[in-house]
């Protein structure tokens, strides 16, 4: 058991306006199961890259262990290899029998190591790479969002597997995964970094308590400052009024005064002015104590959407509907029946490859939206209400590039409103001037979410909208959807989000 010590770490990307880390210091234990939590774009993946020496930085990071990073980068040529061949490409010291042992713990047989890696499902690929990751010794493992794009069954297997391991940092926004697999948290707050024992729920409960206390203290300081300012103003007014009486007096009305009285009045004024200065010092102390109280509070701003009402109750009617690709012998969808009425929020749930995205694209094309779909044969009924306006979020962000202004022009969006929503989703103002291709994956996803929220629609169709999205934004979106209750058809493997939002779940 040893420690990783970070001391006075400062790092910024070349050409960037702001530091990602500035004089950061903390230490973590290599025996911990550490969850890494923070907003999109705050530097979680960057910190992992710093640990493996990808970038130069100021300060120091000391560790007596070697780091191994997940996910591994797999080239197109490597995808043609079998898993057995790929093992030694990724880690030449790796032993195949160890990988097979780890695969068994993940619920997979050794057979998948002898198939071409590119032909494996996303879940199978993730399991092979995790088995390779954990097959070494005396390493501290850096695991960056292992469950993105995985279906529920694969997530459960990965969750069960990681819960039995230790000695890793896990970057994830999946609250169930964090609750099950970690015993400490490393949190990138807005202005600080904290290390705390416990899982996500323990940390979140403690954070809510601290935030409530900080807000109460802030209100107390504000009241005290207000009272002190009033007292200072009152005393200052008295001092000014008293000072004005030094020169000129009515000898009839003030027959007890003489010229020597001026020194007495001056001394009294000086005493009052001294009291004002003391009060101002107390005000400064109160302001100093107040500063920083709210610096780490996550303010999840209220989001809005403009849902449209359709005259027809049944917006989507599907009966005995089947879809089969030209190059496939088996149907992707077989005899599916589904109705979506206004006000319903329907979740499509099932394993990877069961046809969730295919069904969504079929509905979009039937409604007149030109979405790449491929050559398919269909049978059965897929009836879409005429004039149906759909707001769609694709799970793929790879094509996003260009400026915010260009994106708004291409999608006929109001730039000012679009930028406001991105700011409400916690995108820093400086990011709005960057090319979208430079964004983190979570920030790219927020671009798609903002565009969808800004598009008035009868039905919102979201395909895995929360991949890479931080925990706070997930809660923000949950609150929005429960308040506005739009008609929705969505696919999402985050169990907590699905359970909160869906009025009905369709198993495929």
Q: Calculate mean pLDDT across residues 163-184.
A: 92
- Specify the pLDDT at position 367: 87
- Which span out of 27-41, 147-161, 241-255 was modeled with the highest average pLDDT? 27-41
Least Cα distance to 334 among 508, 91, 470 occurs for 508
- Specify the pLDDT at position 235: 72
More confident: 143 or 293: 143
Share of the chain above pLDDT 90, in %: 36
Tell if the pTM clears 0.85, that is, is over it: no
- Specify the pLDDT at position 294: 58
| Cis preceding linkage at 59, omega within 30 | no
Q: Give, as one character, the DSSP assignment of residue 399.
A: T
More confident: 433 or 240: 433
- Strand, coil or helix: what is 66? strand
The DSSP bridge partners found for residue 66 are 139
Q: Calculate mean pLDDT across residues 229-256.
A: 63
d(Cα 87, Cα 35) in Å, to the nearest integer? 27
Q: Are 140 and 165 in contact (CB under 8 A)?
A: no
Q: Give, as one character, the DSSP assignment of residue 455.
A: S
**pLDDT for 476 beyond 90:** yes
More confident: 484 or 2: 484
* Residue 337 φ/ψ, nearest 5 degrees: -125, 130
- Specify the pLDDT at position 125: 87
d(Cα 207, Cα 376) in Å, to the nearest integer? 51
Least Cα distance to 143 among 3, 35, 24, 63 occurs for 35
Report how far apart, in Å, the C-alpha atoms of 114 and of each of 81, 82, 106, 228 are. 9, 5, 17, 77
**pLDDT for 226 beyond 80:** no
- Token couple for 1: 């058991």
* 448 C-beta neighbours (distance < 10 Å), count: 19
* 102 C-beta neighbours (distance < 10 Å), count: 19
* Residue 428 φ/ψ, nearest 5 degrees: -60, 150
CATH number of 314-507: 3.40.50.300
d(Cα 500, Cα 478) in Å, to the nearest integer? 7
d(Cα 138, Cα 71) in Å, to the nearest integer? 19
Residue 252 makes CB contacts below 8 A (sequence gap 6+) with none
* 66 C-beta neighbours (distance < 10 Å), count: 11
Which CATH number fits the domain 3-203, given the four candidates 3.40.50.300, 3.30.230.10, 3.40.640.10, 2.40.30.10?
A: 3.40.50.300
- Specify the pLDDT at position 242: 65
- Specify the pLDDT at position 266: 66
With bands split at pLDDT 50, 70 and 90, how would you rate the model's confidence at 339?
very high
- Strand, coil or helix: what is 311? coil
- Specify the pLDDT at position 224: 74
- Strand, coil or helix: what is 15? coil
Give the range among 225-229, 348-352, 409-413 with minimum mean pLDDT: 225-229
Least Cα distance to 470 among 257, 239, 263, 175 occurs for 175
Q: Are 131 and 107 in contact (CB under 8 A)?
A: no
d(Cα 393, Cα 463) in Å, to the nearest integer? 6
d(Cα 465, Cα 493) in Å, to the nearest integer? 10
Give the range among 47-51, 280-284, 362-366, 379-383 with minimum mean pLDDT: 280-284
- Specify the pLDDT at position 396: 85
Give all strands (DSSP E) within 163-246, no chain letters: 168-171, 184-188, 193-197
């Amino acid at each position: 058991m040893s420690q990783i010590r970070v001391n006075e770490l400062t790092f910024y990307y070349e050409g960037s306006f702001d530091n990602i880390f500035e004089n950061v210091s903390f230490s973590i234990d290599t025996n911990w199961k550490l969850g890494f939590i923070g907003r999109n774009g705050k530097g979680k993946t960057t910190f992992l890259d710093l640990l493996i020496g990808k970038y130069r930085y100021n300060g120091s990071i000391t560790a007596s262990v070697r780091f191994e990073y997940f996910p591994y980068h797999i080239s197109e040529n490597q995808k043609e290899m079998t898993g057995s061949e790929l093992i030694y490409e990724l880690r030449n010291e790796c032993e195949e029998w160890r990988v097979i042992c780890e695969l068994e713990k993940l619920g997979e047989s050794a057979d998948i190591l002898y198939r071409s890696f590119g032909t494996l499902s996303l879940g199978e690929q993730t399991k092979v790479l995790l088995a390779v990751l954990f097959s070494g010794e005396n390493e501290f493992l850096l695991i960056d969002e292992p469950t993105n794009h995985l279906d529920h069954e694969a997530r459960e297997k990965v969750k069960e597997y990681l819960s039995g391991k230790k000695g890793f940092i896990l970057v994830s926004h999946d609250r169930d995964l964090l609750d099950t697999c970690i015993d400490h948290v490393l949190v990138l707050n807005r202005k600080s970094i904290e290390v705390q024992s416990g899982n996500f729920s323990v940390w979140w409960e403690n954070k809510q308590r601290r935030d409530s206390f900080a807000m109460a203290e802030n209100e107390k300081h504000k009241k005290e400052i207000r009272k002190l300012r009033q007292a200072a103003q009152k005393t200052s007014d008295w001092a000014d009024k008293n000072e004005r009486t030094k020169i000129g007096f009515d000898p009839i009305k003030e027959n007890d005064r003489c010229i020597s009285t001026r020194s007495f009045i001056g001394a009294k004024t000086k005493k009052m002015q001294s009291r004002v200065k003391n009060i101002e010092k107390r005000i400064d102390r109160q302001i100093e104590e107040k500063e920083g109280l709210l610096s780490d509070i996550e303010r999840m701003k209220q989001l809005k959407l403009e849902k449209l009402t359709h005259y027809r109750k049944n917006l989507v009617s599907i009966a005995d509907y089947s879809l089969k690709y030209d190059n496939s012998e088996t149907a992707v969808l077989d005899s599916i029946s589904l109705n979506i009425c206004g006000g319903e929020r329907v979740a499509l749930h099932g394993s990877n490859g069961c046809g969730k995205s295919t069904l969504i694209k079929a509905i979009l094309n039937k409604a007149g939206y030109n979405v790449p779909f491929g050559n398919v044969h269909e049978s059965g009924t897929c009836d879409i209400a005429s004039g149906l306006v759909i707001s769609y979020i694709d799970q793929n962000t790879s094509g996003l590039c260009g400026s915010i202004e260009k994106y708004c022009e291409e999608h006929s969006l109001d730039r000012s409103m679009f930028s406001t929503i991105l700011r409400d989703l916690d995108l820093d103002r400086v990011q709005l001037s960057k090319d979208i291709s430079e964004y983190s994956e979570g920030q790219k996803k927020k671009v798609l979410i903002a565009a969808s929220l800004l598009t008035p629609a009868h039905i919102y169709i979201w395909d895995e909208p929360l991949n890479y999205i931080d925990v706070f934004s997930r809660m923000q979106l949950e609150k929005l959807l429960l308040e506005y209750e739009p008609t929705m058809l969505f696919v999402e493997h985050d169990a907590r989000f699905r359970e909160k939002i869906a009025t009905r779940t369709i198993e495929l």
